Amino acid sequence: MILSKPSLYENYALLLISLLFEHEYPDVNTTNDLRLTDISPDFWYPIAWSKDLKRGKTIGRYFGKHPIALIRPKKGRVFALEDRCAHRQVPLSKGVVEGDSIKCCYHGWAYGRAGQCVDIPYLGKDANKERIPNCVKSYPCRETGGMIFIFPGEPEKADSAAFPRLAQVYNPAFKTRRFNPSVRCHYTFMHENLMDMNHQFLHRRQMGQIKARYLGGDNGDNFVEARYSFARTGNQQPLAERLIFGKHKYDPNKVQPVEEVVTIRTTYPYQSLHIHDKDGDLIMELFAAYVPDSPEGKSCQTFGLLSVLRPKTPFLIDIIWPALGVFTNRIFHEDKEIVEMEQKAWEELGGDHNVEVFPIVKKLRELLLRHGVPHEA
């Protein structure tokens, strides 16, 4: 069918109609759907725990849609390569570590630290140099705090990219717990969940009766921060919480004083939580990174470090540590369940229909949109 060109009059009519109905255009939630925003690759991301990669072994992980092979030679540092053999694309992480290289499990092509193919066994040593066709991508890689990090973005940006602060993992005054649950949701739900402490109602069975009080917030180009105190509205204080923070008295006739200040901050793309006591001393710090681990962007791997100040009584922290683990696991399980429900709703509704009213969460959403990149299909 051939359409005739609209006349000038028709063009004016179309313009008028579009202006009249402008208010019906989709708003930012649908045109800039946060769940269609991938995390920026130009940062350092934890991708595995050090303890999961033994000497002389290799493991496979995903950063979004990108498969990553981590290789730990018997001697020397860990390195990271694209987890696909250049020959027939099978995972290199199924291969064998030999010296400073990884040998593909299929025909035995071997790759060095920079991803260069260093041997094709059946071509013979002399022929290799001219006939080796290509190599695989390598990723800048660092190991610290019990985690292996990669830089999935442009490698030349790796050295200047800010490296995150890993809670108090190297401070002997603190004991640090690591947790690593996989969550079936877009990574942005995790940021919103922690930033919005108004969700303590969800944890009413674990946390006793407390109410978050918003003390204020702050934001800048690469961060959003919210500060809260928690007022007790009933006498049930969980044992683990009481052992760490001390007993919080509850008087229904008084306004609850600010006991601890909880500061939650997303410094893109990481998140932290600090708890300071009423003297301003740090008593707990959390570092969290949510690393997308599937091509669709509908799941992420959490890397969490929770550092707790050791009480003055020797070994008390070791005695309460298992109870603290159970307590934090239960809280995290409730958070995991709820964010996975949010993800499911997003999928069923075919987009973000959230009605957000809390200003600091709106700021957080803007931050995640601003620094993220459009979803890679």
- Residues at the interface with Fe ion (CB under 5 A): 335
> Residue 351 in contact with residue 375, Cβ under 8 Å?
no
> Closest Cα to residue 296, out of 36, 82, 69, 43?
36
Minimum Å distance from CB 108 to ligand FES?
A: 6
DSSP 299: -
The partner in contact with residue 90, picked from ligand FES, Fe ion, none with C-beta cut-offs of 5 to 8 angstroms by kind, is ligand FES
Nearer to ligand FES, 97 or 261 (CB): 97
Helix (H) or strand (E) holding 304: strand 300-309
Nearer to ligand FES, 39 or 85 (CB): 85
Rounded Cα distance, 191 and 90, in Å: 34
**Which among 17-25, 52-60, 81-89, 261-269 is the span making contact with ligand FES, rule CB under 6 A?**
81-89
The partner in contact with residue 109, picked from Fe ion, ligand FES, none with C-beta cut-offs of 5 to 8 angstroms by kind, is ligand FES
The answer to the question of residue 183 lying near ligand FES (CB under 6 A) is no
The partner in contact with residue 245, picked from Fe ion, ligand FES, none with C-beta cut-offs of 5 to 8 angstroms by kind, is none
Q: Single out the residue of 106, 250, 321, 332 in contact with ligand FES (rule: CB under 6 A).
A: 106
- The binding track of 302-341 with respect to ligand FES, each residue x by CB under 6 A or -, is ----------------------------------------
Minimum Å distance from CB 186 to ligand FES?
A: 33
Nearer to ligand FES, 56 or 108 (CB): 108
Q: What are phi and psi of 255, to 5 degrees?
A: -70, 130
Minimum Å distance from CB 338 to Fe ion?
A: 8
The partner in contact with residue 74, picked from ligand FES, Fe ion, none with C-beta cut-offs of 5 to 8 angstroms by kind, is none
Nearer to Fe ion, 149 or 327 (CB): 327
Minimum Å distance from CB 72 to ligand FES?
A: 20
> Residue 114 in contact with residue 144, Cβ under 8 Å?
no
The answer to the question of residue 107 lying near ligand FES (CB under 6 A) is yes
The answer to the question of residue 289 lying near ligand FES (CB under 6 A) is no
> Closest Cα to residue 74, out of 94, 98, 110?
98
Exposed e or buried b per residue across 47-76, where buried means at least 16 C-beta atoms within 10 angstroms of its C-beta: bbebeebeeeebbebbbbebbbbbbbbeee
The answer to the question of residue 90 lying near ligand FES (CB under 6 A) is yes
Partner residues linked to 117 by β-bridges = 111
Q: Residue 111 CB: number of other CB atoms within 10 A? A: 26
Rounded Cα distance, 267 and 272, in Å: 8
Q: Single out the residue of 109, 187, 228, 287 in contact with ligand FES (rule: CB under 6 A).
A: 109
Give one DSSP letter per residue of 125-184, joined into a string: HHHHHHH------EE-EEEETTEEEE--S-GGGTTTSPPPP-TTTT-TTEEEEEE--EES
Nearer to Fe ion, 53 or 264 (CB): 264
Partner residues linked to 357 by β-bridges = none
Q: Mention every residue, 6+ apart, whose C-beta is less than 8 A from residue 11.
A: none
The answer to the question of residue 104 lying near ligand FES (CB under 6 A) is yes
**Which among 1-9, 72-80, 86-94, 111-119 is the span making contact with ligand FES, rule CB under 6 A?**
86-94
Minimum Å distance from CB 47 to ligand FES?
A: 22
Minimum Å distance from CB 332 to Fe ion?
A: 8
Q: Single out the residue of 40, 50, 62, 87 in contact with ligand FES (rule: CB under 6 A).
A: 87
Q: Single out the residue of 55, 88, 278, 344 in contact with ligand FES (rule: CB under 6 A).
A: 88
Q: Helix %, strand %, coil % for the chain, to 5?
A: 30, 30, 40
Amino acid at residue number 357: V
**What are the residues binding ligand FES (CB under 6 A)?**
85, 87-88, 90, 104, 106-109
